[in-house]
Structure 1
């Protein structure tokens, strides 16, 4: 991975960890204050909601870059190398199209909602929708980098036919004998 993109993904990793810590601290403190002291932190829910949306979207970018998204590769691993490459190209095209749609929708909602502010914190509501825009652009960059690498001969591990470390489940002979009877 290129150095600036690698640095940015590390920053997203840190943001996800700090964001989850902030959410946990705000919600926990708010619960203790409400039940223990009939008080609370007025802005805790608004801030937690915005931070959670950003954590989810930035975590998705990092997961895509690390190849940690769920995927079903049972068909792809059985294909010959050229067919896997063709499937990867088609898959990249479809994902880029989806990122374009997400970016368009997020940009439109960010512009529409930027003038609206949350009642307690004054945070623009559009900031929540901007997370989708940033994530779509970053995911497209990660995908374009993977596409560039694949065109130069290096497919991601799943598409290259790398086998899983897990051993396939085997049916014991006692169970197969029971079914036959």
Structure 2
């Protein structure tokens, strides 16, 4: 399927850009105010940290969907097509298990910390761990979709990542 059909991922990309902009502005203005006027924005550190956690988790979802995560495929590229499919399934099943572990741990931490609040902003600490819940669910859905595509015979994600001459990595 074409990647542009998934509106959810476009929204995630927009949220990532917005989060980076807000985080950069908060930190920039806090630095300017501290060094220039000997004051600052007290909640900027807490809010920036919260936004940073969400950027990392949502960014990992987009990277997984786009196939931009780091992979060492030197051995996989030498396997036969059938063994590539088997290795894809093994890897995806192991990643689904990791998704379950991240989901379970994030859910517990969110429940435990929901009543705790950041000292300056008053935002629940549970929001930090809720990012793990959202990311784990999205990762699992992407992996299940990849397995579904593989079961239907679409093995496009198994093609070797060969970069055309003259291009550099993103």
TM class, shorter-length: over 0.9
Runs (4+) of structure 1 moved beyond 6 Å? 2-5
8 A Cα contact 2:53 2:131, kept in partner = yes
Give the secondary structure class of the aligned counterpart of 1:39: coil
- Match for residue 128 of structure 2? 128
Q: How many residues align?
A: 165
- Match for residue 154 of structure 1? 154
Rg comparison, structure with higher value? 1
1:4-43 aligned at under 5 Å gives the runs: 6-43=6-43
Give the secondary structure class of the aligned counterpart of 2:162: coil
Q: Does 2:52 match 1:52?
A: yes
The CA distance in 2 between the partners of 1:29 and 1:54, in whole Å, is: 21
8 A Cα contact 1:146 1:156, kept in partner = no
Give the secondary structure class of the aligned counterpart of 1:22: helix
Provide structure 2 residue ranges, at least 5 long, that are not aligned to the other structure. 166-170
Root-mean-square deviation (Å): 1.7
8 A Cα contact 1:46 1:121, kept in partner = yes
8 A Cα contact 2:107 2:133, kept in partner = yes
Give the secondary structure class of the aligned counterpart of 2:6: helix
- Match for residue 168 of structure 2? none
